[in-house]
Amino acid sequence: MYIRKAAEGDLPRMMEIYAVARRFMAAHGNPNQWGPTNWPPEERIRADIAEGSSYVCVRQNRVVGAFYFRQGEGIEPTYQRIENGAWKEAGPYGVIHRLAGDGSAKGIGTLCLTWAYQQCGHLRIDTHPDNHVMQNLLRKNGFVHCGTVYVVEDTYPRLAFEKVSSQ
């Protein structure tokens, strides 16, 4: 498997993967993270691709995973305010959003997280409190729970995780 930037032609397959992820989350006790709003909308993914921040995981010439990745200083406005804790390290960081796999291969999530971390050495991500699958994946990959953040898509709090090279 390998990671590459998403292209406009990947959009239909990416939307299929997000639909699979919504069904998976609902079946595993997390119906509220993406389900009620049918997140992420096609317009958001199209914009991510256009700005060059959308990536896909490819296995045997087939897109099997998708995610958003960007890095820089203060790139995620919703991360400026964190409750019930604090970020471990200041400065530039990478952020991952909308990470999903189609379930066809083990290790898609780990590959995407590892690739993103290798790009910057300081990575932040958030997830819904009911998303125990993602929380386990993050902990397995060396992320530490830092507190609570809020996103603009809905009113549910998100568990904020971070991985830095000094951990």
Helix ranges (H only) for 4-163 are: 11-27, 42-50, 108-120, 132-140
What is the band of 71 on the pLDDT scale with cuts at 50, 70, 90? very high
Does pLDDT of 154 surpass 90?
no
| Model pLDDT for residues 25-38, shown as the tens digit of each residue | 999 999 998 988 88
The alpha carbon torsion through 71, 104, 39, 84 (nearest 10 deg) reads -60
User: Which structural domain, as residue segments, surrounds residue 144?
Assistant: 2-164
Does pLDDT of 105 surpass 90?
no
β-pair type (93-101, 62-72):
antiparallel
CB atoms within 10 A of CB 165: 10
Angle at 147 between CA 146 and CA 150, to 5 degrees: 130
Domain count, the chain: 1
**Average pLDDT of the residues in 153-159:** 89
* Residue 28 confidence (pLDDT): 94
Share of the chain above pLDDT 90, in %: 89
What is the band of 153 on the pLDDT scale with cuts at 50, 70, 90? confident
CA neighbours closer than 13 Å in the CB half-sphere of residue 124: 29
* Residue 60 confidence (pLDDT): 95
* Residue 167 confidence (pLDDT): 54
Residues making up the chain, counted from first to last: 167
Q: Residue 112 maps to which CATH number?
A: 3.40.630.30
What is the band of 77 on the pLDDT scale with cuts at 50, 70, 90? very high
d(CA 158, CA 140): 19
Query: Which residue from 117, 133, 13, 28 is spatially nearest to 65, judged by alpha carbons?
Result: 13
User: Whole-model pTM?
Assistant: 0.94
What 3-state class would DSSP assign to 93?
A: strand
Contacts of 107 (CB under 8 A, 6+ apart): 1
